[in-house]
Structure 1
């Protein structure tokens, strides 16, 4: 399974980037959705943790962190950092975890999984999350042409997803959709950066409204964030 990821660390620039060190904007993004949920003592797991940005943020909140990852180099870094490694097979997680999870994160990873693997992920979330626990996901929005550079810019992307597709896949499971839509965009870089980001958001919102007037309610954002709660 690792063949397509042999040079992924270098491609992403992770060879020279500290492991489990989220940026200020990463921290803002995670806190926007999971602040107060990821807390001291909570069990948190990430699918495909990559360079560990989310796990680093969760650990800083006092969470007990676990993760699965196909890349051997990333697994070695995680072991050295004290991350509890999980099998790639979601069905085997229950044999490793010490209890129910508060959060399962799948950030920029579901597009790397097959449709069958994504179904297994959702089934595992319904089984392994504590009541009220969250599955937090971000993936390219397959309903938007703006996602094409993201979706087709990586040879390891194998699934095209959208909020309706994931909702269909979650039917019959003990999961309810809490949020599905445009990702929160954190502001950083001081006042000039905040002003530039705000102006960009205003322009994007105007373009979205114009497109919706002509073509109907098309979700134009390039990425979609979904939060599903264990009922």
Structure 2
């Protein structure tokens, strides 16, 4: 059984990626979530409607022990399963000016995006190297590429993930494993629901927010066999706001 794992796959961009992989590939979809079980179940139901199989895995990507224990149990229960695609999508924001930022708001954001990438990818990387095939896609952000005021923690986490993407890509390329990052700008989702869309659109050359499906289309391509010669890339998808 060949599988694709999407962290933070229950809502928003994560859900759209699960559905894109379900409709465009033969993969069994592993939907990771941390808190919202009903949203994860809805995503699974939509995956199944597309004629694909899937399952839900509950763990906190920022917690190494929790991640390891859930993934080890899953691997023991599915000894023949091979994870070929990892989409490191789980991320949180705790916005605020740096001078007032609590240590907790700094650590939580870094731990989810950056340590989450390590905890999940490190678990599977040796197996991918043995199989001589893999697609790793890291969800970063325009904030990680250009830096955004009020998001020093998020910019730091995503900027570090940009560096990690480029370095790991060089380590594993000979084994037919690609590592790329996708950097969305303003995309209509739960994470941007509180933002003043009318005001922000003035800054975006394309004159609109992106849709989660547009991001998922790009991720689906990078996760496919067609993208075998693209690695170590950070692909912006932001309507021209930073290009």
TM-score (norm 2): 0.44
Normalized per residue, the structure richer in helix is 2
